[in-house]
Structure 1
Amino acid sequence: MTGTVELPAALREIADDFAELTAPERLQLLLEFSEGLPELPERYAGSLDSMEQVHECQSPIFLAVEVADEPADEPGRRPVHLYFSAPPEAPTTRGFAGILHEGLDGLTVDEVLAVPEAAPYQFSLGEAVSPLRLRGMVGMLSRIKRQTALKSQS
């Protein structure tokens, strides 16, 4: 894919960081994002049935999206929070989750919904991981956006 898509500032910074590296260095940075993925809060720990599985991923990954209640009068400005469960033995998948968590968590509903579906292709990971693995990240983003849209209406 040529050109770049418009990304929120935090995701753009991550994409720029990856673009400056060689393929092996990109894998190392992906591993760092994997290691930095926050633990699940207690309300989700041991409750994967309350989370959505991302079937496009080769490893079992689950996610949950929460949309804050405030400001109630401006639904598009409500902050979004993301939670992921990914096994430690799946560093690529955990790394994708880590990127999305760092780049999207805390953004507003409108900002999350504006992220282009092609955003995962902007991290220069095509040389480092297989297209099948990248589709997993696309699946994560798609579910995040869908859950954000649904939960922002309630």
Structure 2
Amino acid sequence: MPEMPTKLAEIVDEFATAPRDVVLEMLLEYSDAIPPLPAEFSGREGMEQVPECQTAFFLRAEVTPEGTVTTWFDCPPEAPTTRAFAGILAEGLAGATVGEVLAVPGDLYHRMGLDKAISPLRVRGGTAVLARLQRQVREQSAS
């Protein structure tokens, strides 16, 4: 059974072991880690909205013929915490296989200790982002 990608596991460990007062700073660093959207998604065409997020958040996952997953996220700069969730996933899942993406635990943000640093509503939004991303990967890999 595959495990979550090594890079994502390292990020989880960094957050889990960081002092609480540093966690928010770390989150802000990840809010800048989202790559710009390619032109084909400029109008959010082909992207799925995550309504559980308090802010407008869109995502798209694609499974390549080689079985790796490419992700895209769109979230406004005014929502740094939500952007940080996307940045963590963008960096942690870069080059990941279908099995690795599906092996990411649903309680990822709890394991990171974020439930002690940010509101439950924000954690729920981040959890919904991961669930939708995994659902897209599952659907594409099944076809």
Contact 1:54-1:60 within 8 A present in 2 as well: yes
Residues 1:88 and 2:77 are matched in the alignment: yes
Q: Match for 2:124: what amino acid? A: R
**Equivalent residue number for residue 35 of structure 2:** 38
Mapped to 1, the partners of 2:85 and 2:112 lie a distance apart of 10
Mapped to 1, the partners of 2:13 and 2:103 lie a distance apart of 19
Aligned length: 141
TM-score, normalised relative to structure 2: 0.92
Residue deviations 1:76-126 (CA, integer Å, cap 9, x gap): xx0001000000000000001101111113211111112221122111112
SS at match of 2:72: strand
| CA apart distance, 1:55 | 0.9
Matches within 5 A, 1:38-117: 38-45=35-42, 47-70=43-66, 78-117=67-106
Structure 2 unmatched ranges of 5 or more = none
Contact 1:61-1:86 within 8 A present in 2 as well: yes
Structure 1 unmatched ranges of 5 or more = 1-5, 71-77
TM-score, normalised relative to structure 1: 0.86
**Equivalent residue number for residue 12 of structure 1:** 9
**Once superposed, what is the RMSD of the aligned Cα atoms?**
1.3
Q: Match for 1:139: what amino acid? A: A
Runs of 4+ aligned residues of structure 1 deviating over 2 Å after TM superposition are: none
**Equivalent residue number for residue 138 of structure 2:** 149
SS at match of 1:82: strand
Q: Give percent identity, aligned residues only.
A: 49
| CA apart distance, 1:22 | 2.0
Mapped to 1, the partners of 2:108 and 2:15 lie a distance apart of 13
Mapped to 1, the partners of 2:21 and 2:76 lie a distance apart of 22
Residues 1:132 and 2:121 are matched in the alignment: yes
Mapped to 2, the partners of 1:114 and 1:17 lie a distance apart of 19
Contact 2:4-2:101 within 8 A present in 1 as well: no
